[in-house]
Protein backbone atom coordinates (compact mmCIF):
# COMPACT_ATOMS: atom_id res chain seq x y z
CA UNK A 1 0.00 0.00 0.00
CA UNK A 2 1.08 3.61 -0.49
CA UNK A 3 0.46 6.97 1.09
CA UNK A 4 -1.49 8.78 -1.63
CA UNK A 5 -5.09 9.95 -1.18
CA UNK A 6 -6.84 6.61 -1.62
CA UNK A 7 -3.79 4.71 -0.34
CA UNK A 8 -3.65 6.47 3.02
CA UNK A 9 -7.37 6.15 3.70
CA UNK A 10 -7.23 2.49 2.68
CA UNK A 11 -4.32 1.93 5.07
CA UNK A 12 -6.36 3.60 7.83
CA UNK A 13 -9.17 1.11 7.17
CA UNK A 14 -6.78 -1.83 6.92
CA UNK A 15 -5.13 -1.28 10.31
CA UNK A 16 -8.56 -1.32 11.96
CA UNK A 17 -8.65 -5.02 10.99
CA UNK A 18 -6.50 -7.49 12.86
CA UNK A 19 -3.49 -7.49 10.57
CA UNK A 20 -0.13 -8.60 11.87
CA UNK A 21 1.89 -6.41 9.56
CA UNK A 22 1.28 -3.57 7.16
CA UNK A 23 4.22 -2.66 4.96
CA UNK A 24 3.96 0.64 3.16
CA UNK A 25 6.07 1.17 0.05
CA UNK A 26 6.17 4.63 -1.46
CA UNK A 27 8.62 7.02 -3.06
CA UNK A 28 8.43 9.54 -0.25
CA UNK A 29 8.18 8.82 3.44
CA UNK A 30 5.42 10.49 5.41
CA UNK A 31 6.33 9.94 9.09
CA UNK A 32 3.18 11.70 10.36
CA UNK A 33 0.98 9.32 8.36
CA UNK A 34 2.92 6.26 9.52
CA UNK A 35 2.66 7.46 13.14
CA UNK A 36 -1.07 7.99 12.74
CA UNK A 37 -1.53 4.46 11.36
CA UNK A 38 0.36 3.04 14.35
CA UNK A 39 -1.91 4.99 16.72
CA UNK A 40 -5.13 3.71 15.13
CA UNK A 41 -4.26 0.14 16.09
CA UNK A 42 -1.01 -0.38 18.05
CA UNK A 43 -1.31 -4.18 17.59
CA UNK A 44 -0.50 -3.84 13.87
CA UNK A 45 3.18 -3.61 13.03
CA UNK A 46 3.34 -0.79 10.46
CA UNK A 47 6.57 -0.31 8.59
CA UNK A 48 7.73 1.85 5.70
CA UNK A 49 10.26 1.26 2.93
CA UNK A 50 11.12 3.77 0.22
CA UNK A 51 10.29 2.32 -3.19
CA UNK A 52 9.96 3.70 -6.68
CA UNK A 53 8.02 1.28 -8.91
CA UNK A 54 10.13 2.32 -11.89
CA UNK A 55 13.12 0.57 -10.25
CA UNK A 56 14.61 -2.35 -12.19
CA UNK A 57 13.24 -5.82 -11.42
CA UNK A 58 16.47 -6.88 -9.66
CA UNK A 59 16.27 -3.97 -7.20
CA UNK A 60 12.64 -4.72 -6.44
CA UNK A 61 13.55 -8.34 -5.74
CA UNK A 62 16.26 -7.20 -3.29
CA UNK A 63 13.81 -4.99 -1.41
CA UNK A 64 11.24 -7.77 -1.28
CA UNK A 65 13.90 -10.16 0.04
CA UNK A 66 14.58 -7.76 2.92
CA UNK A 67 10.86 -7.61 3.69
CA UNK A 68 10.25 -11.36 3.38
CA UNK A 69 13.33 -12.12 5.51
CA UNK A 70 11.94 -9.89 8.23
CA UNK A 71 8.27 -10.89 8.15
CA UNK A 72 8.64 -14.52 6.94
CA UNK A 73 5.31 -14.27 5.10
CA UNK A 74 3.47 -11.61 3.14
CA UNK A 75 -0.21 -12.28 2.44
CA UNK A 76 -1.12 -9.61 -0.08
CA UNK A 77 0.59 -7.18 -2.43
CA UNK A 78 -1.34 -4.01 -3.26
CA UNK A 79 -0.01 -2.25 -6.36
CA UNK A 80 -1.28 1.28 -6.15
CA UNK A 81 1.32 3.64 -7.59
CA UNK A 82 -0.23 5.84 -10.24
CA UNK A 83 0.18 9.15 -12.02
CA UNK A 84 -2.30 11.07 -14.14
CA UNK A 85 -0.60 13.46 -16.57
CA UNK A 86 -0.85 12.79 -20.29
CA UNK A 87 1.98 15.21 -21.04
CA UNK A 88 4.26 12.57 -19.50
CA UNK A 89 3.74 9.61 -21.80
CA UNK A 90 6.76 7.48 -20.84
CA UNK A 91 6.37 8.09 -17.12
CA UNK A 92 2.65 7.36 -17.11
CA UNK A 93 3.30 3.99 -18.74
CA UNK A 94 6.35 3.27 -16.55
CA UNK A 95 4.55 3.95 -13.25
CA UNK A 96 1.00 2.80 -13.97
CA UNK A 97 1.76 -0.29 -16.06
CA UNK A 98 5.42 -1.40 -16.23
CA UNK A 99 6.02 -0.77 -12.52
CA UNK A 100 2.98 -2.82 -11.55
CA UNK A 101 4.02 -5.68 -13.85
CA UNK A 102 7.58 -5.63 -12.50
CA UNK A 103 6.50 -5.56 -8.86
CA UNK A 104 4.11 -8.45 -9.47
CA UNK A 105 6.81 -10.38 -11.34
CA UNK A 106 9.33 -9.75 -8.56
CA UNK A 107 7.12 -11.09 -5.77
CA UNK A 108 6.55 -14.33 -7.69
CA UNK A 109 10.09 -15.37 -6.63
CA UNK A 110 8.74 -15.61 -3.08
CA UNK A 111 5.19 -16.81 -3.72
CA UNK A 112 5.21 -19.10 -6.78
CA UNK A 113 4.16 -22.57 -5.70
CA UNK A 114 6.33 -24.06 -8.48
CA UNK A 115 9.34 -22.93 -6.39
CA UNK A 116 7.81 -24.22 -3.17
CA UNK A 117 6.28 -20.83 -2.34
CA UNK A 118 3.03 -20.48 -0.36
CA UNK A 119 1.09 -18.54 -3.02
CA UNK A 120 -0.31 -15.09 -2.38
CA UNK A 121 -2.75 -12.42 -3.45
CA UNK A 122 -2.14 -9.50 -5.80
CA UNK A 123 -4.52 -6.56 -5.60
CA UNK A 124 -3.95 -4.15 -8.47
CA UNK A 125 -5.43 -0.68 -8.56
CA UNK A 126 -6.84 -0.01 -11.98
CA UNK A 127 -9.39 2.67 -12.76
CA UNK A 128 -12.81 2.83 -14.33
CA UNK A 129 -10.95 4.43 -17.26
CA UNK A 130 -9.53 0.95 -17.92
CA UNK A 131 -12.92 -0.05 -19.31
CA UNK A 132 -14.52 3.36 -19.94
CA UNK A 133 -11.70 5.60 -21.09
CA UNK A 134 -11.58 9.28 -20.33
CA UNK A 135 -10.51 9.90 -23.91
CA UNK A 136 -8.91 13.26 -23.13
CA UNK A 137 -6.26 11.24 -21.23
CA UNK A 138 -5.77 8.36 -23.70
CA UNK A 139 -2.37 7.34 -22.31
CA UNK A 140 -3.55 7.17 -18.70
CA UNK A 141 -6.72 5.31 -19.71
CA UNK A 142 -4.79 2.82 -21.86
CA UNK A 143 -2.29 2.19 -19.04
CA UNK A 144 -5.25 1.26 -16.83
CA UNK A 145 -6.78 -0.99 -19.51
CA UNK A 146 -3.41 -2.74 -19.51
CA UNK A 147 -3.59 -3.14 -15.71
CA UNK A 148 -7.00 -4.79 -15.90
CA UNK A 149 -5.96 -7.10 -18.76
CA UNK A 150 -2.69 -8.06 -17.04
CA UNK A 151 -4.44 -8.81 -13.76
CA UNK A 152 -7.08 -10.98 -15.44
CA UNK A 153 -4.31 -13.06 -16.98
CA UNK A 154 -2.51 -13.42 -13.65
CA UNK A 155 -5.79 -14.59 -12.11
CA UNK A 156 -6.11 -17.28 -14.79
CA UNK A 157 -2.59 -18.48 -13.99
CA UNK A 158 -3.44 -19.02 -10.29
CA UNK A 159 -3.73 -22.80 -10.71
CA UNK A 160 -0.11 -22.85 -11.93
CA UNK A 161 1.45 -20.24 -9.62
CA UNK A 162 -0.78 -20.36 -6.53
CA UNK A 163 -1.09 -16.58 -6.76
CA UNK A 164 -4.55 -15.07 -7.15
CA UNK A 165 -5.28 -11.56 -8.39
CA UNK A 166 -8.04 -9.00 -8.71
CA UNK A 167 -8.41 -5.30 -9.53
CA UNK A 168 -10.12 -2.47 -7.71
CA UNK A 169 -11.07 0.27 -10.14
CA UNK A 170 -11.93 3.62 -8.59
CA UNK A 171 -14.07 6.15 -10.41
CA UNK A 172 -13.53 9.87 -10.01
CA UNK A 173 -12.47 10.33 -6.41
CA UNK A 174 -11.74 13.57 -4.57
CA UNK A 175 -7.97 13.06 -4.52
CA UNK A 176 -5.00 15.25 -5.38
CA UNK A 177 -4.66 13.20 -8.60
CA UNK A 178 -7.63 14.98 -10.16
CA UNK A 179 -7.14 18.50 -8.78
CA UNK A 180 -5.32 19.47 -11.94
CA UNK A 181 -3.85 17.38 -14.70
CA UNK A 182 -2.83 17.62 -18.33
CA UNK A 183 -4.76 16.12 -21.20
CA UNK A 184 -2.97 14.58 -24.18
CA UNK A 185 -1.65 17.38 -26.40
CA UNK A 186 -3.95 19.69 -24.42
CA UNK A 187 -6.99 18.41 -26.32
CA UNK A 188 -9.11 19.56 -23.37
CA UNK A 189 -7.41 22.14 -21.14
CA UNK A 190 -10.37 22.05 -18.73
CA UNK A 191 -10.49 18.26 -18.32
CA UNK A 192 -9.92 18.33 -14.55
CA UNK A 193 -12.64 20.93 -14.00
CA UNK A 194 -15.06 19.05 -16.23
CA UNK A 195 -14.43 15.81 -14.35
CA UNK A 196 -14.96 17.39 -10.98
CA UNK A 197 -18.39 18.54 -12.14
CA UNK A 198 -19.34 14.86 -12.39
CA UNK A 199 -20.60 13.05 -9.30
CA UNK A 200 -17.58 11.99 -7.26
CA UNK A 201 -16.82 10.06 -4.12
CA UNK A 202 -14.55 10.78 -1.19
CA UNK A 203 -11.32 8.87 -0.62
CA UNK A 204 -12.94 7.47 2.55
CA UNK A 205 -15.89 5.97 0.67
CA UNK A 206 -13.48 4.55 -1.87
CA UNK A 207 -11.17 3.17 0.83
CA UNK A 208 -14.02 1.42 2.66
CA UNK A 209 -15.10 -0.34 -0.52
CA UNK A 210 -11.47 -1.07 -1.32
CA UNK A 211 -11.12 -2.99 1.95
CA UNK A 212 -14.42 -4.76 1.29
CA UNK A 213 -13.04 -5.94 -2.06
CA UNK A 214 -9.88 -7.16 -0.33
CA UNK A 215 -11.97 -9.08 2.21
CA UNK A 216 -14.05 -10.64 -0.60
CA UNK A 217 -10.71 -11.74 -2.12
CA UNK A 218 -12.23 -13.03 -5.35
CA UNK A 219 -9.71 -14.35 -7.86
CA UNK A 220 -10.27 -12.59 -11.19
CA UNK A 221 -12.63 -10.03 -9.66
CA UNK A 222 -12.90 -6.67 -11.41
CA UNK A 223 -14.35 -4.28 -8.87
CA UNK A 224 -15.70 -0.88 -9.78
CA UNK A 225 -15.50 1.58 -6.88
CA UNK A 226 -17.55 4.52 -8.02
CA UNK A 227 -20.08 6.92 -6.50
CA UNK A 228 -19.50 5.35 -3.08
CA UNK A 229 -20.54 1.90 -4.33
CA UNK A 230 -18.76 -1.41 -4.94
CA UNK A 231 -19.83 -3.34 -8.03
CA UNK A 232 -18.42 -6.26 -10.02
CA UNK A 233 -17.66 -5.55 -13.69
CA UNK A 234 -17.46 -7.89 -16.68
CA UNK A 235 -14.37 -7.37 -18.87
CA UNK A 236 -15.04 -7.90 -22.59
CA UNK A 237 -15.71 -11.48 -23.69
Instruction: Please give the positions annotated as active site.
Output: 140
CA–CA distance from 121 to each of 83, 116, 124 (Å)?
23, 16, 10
Antiparallel, parallel or unpaired: β 229-232 and 222-226: antiparallel
Q: Rounded to the nearest 10 degrees, how much is the dihedral formed by the CA atoms of 203, 209, 211, 217?
A: -140
Stretch that binds a second copy, among 25-33, 77-85, 137-145, 169-177 (CB under 8 A): 137-145
Cβ at position 72, least distance to a second copy in Å: 23
Write the DSSP assignment of 33-101 as a string of letters.
HHHHHHHH-TTSEEEEEE--TTS-HHHHHHHHHHHHHHHS---EEEE------TT-HHHHHIIIIIHHH
Cβ at position 226, least distance to a second copy in Å: 13
Q: Does 57 bind a second copy (CB under 8 A)?
A: yes
Stretch that binds a second copy, among 12-20, 42-50, 74-82, 151-159 (CB under 8 A): 151-159
Q: Does 223 bind a second copy (CB under 8 A)?
A: no
Asked if 108 and 162 touch (Cβ cutoff 8 Å), the reply is: no
Of residues 184 and 210, the one with the C-beta less far from a second copy: 184
CB atoms near residue 197 (< 10 Å) = 9
Interface with a second copy: number of residues (CB under 8 A): 45
Of residues 33 and 101, the one with the C-beta less far from a second copy: 101
Give CA–CA dist 237/235, Å, rounded: 6
Asked if 71 and 23 touch (Cβ cutoff 8 Å), the reply is: yes
Cβ at position 133, least distance to a second copy in Å: 5
The C-alpha R_g of the chain, in whole angstroms, comes to: 17
**Coil, strand, or helix at residue 196?**
helix
Stretch that binds a second copy, among 7-15, 70-78, 156-164, 170-178 (CB under 8 A): 156-164
Q: Does 188 bind a second copy (CB under 8 A)?
A: yes
Of residues 137 and 230, the one with the C-beta less far from a second copy: 137
Asked if 227 and 201 touch (Cβ cutoff 8 Å), the reply is: yes
Of residues 13 and 112, the one with the C-beta less far from a second copy: 112
Write out the binding residues for a second copy, residues 73-132 only, by CB under 8 A: 89-90, 93, 97-98, 101-102, 105, 108, 112, 130-132
Question: Which residues contribute to the site for a second copy (CB under 8 A)?
Answer: 57, 89-90, 93, 97-98, 101-102, 105, 108, 112, 130-139, 141-150, 152-154, 156-157, 160-161, 184-185, 187-188, 235-237
Amino acid sequence: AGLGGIGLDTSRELVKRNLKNLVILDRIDNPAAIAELKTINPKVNVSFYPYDVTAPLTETKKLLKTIFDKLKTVDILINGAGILDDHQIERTIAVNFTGLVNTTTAIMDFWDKRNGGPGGVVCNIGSVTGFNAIYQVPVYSASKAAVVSFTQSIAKLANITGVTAFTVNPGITKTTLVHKFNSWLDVEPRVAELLNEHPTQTTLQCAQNFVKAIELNQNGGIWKLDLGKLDPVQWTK
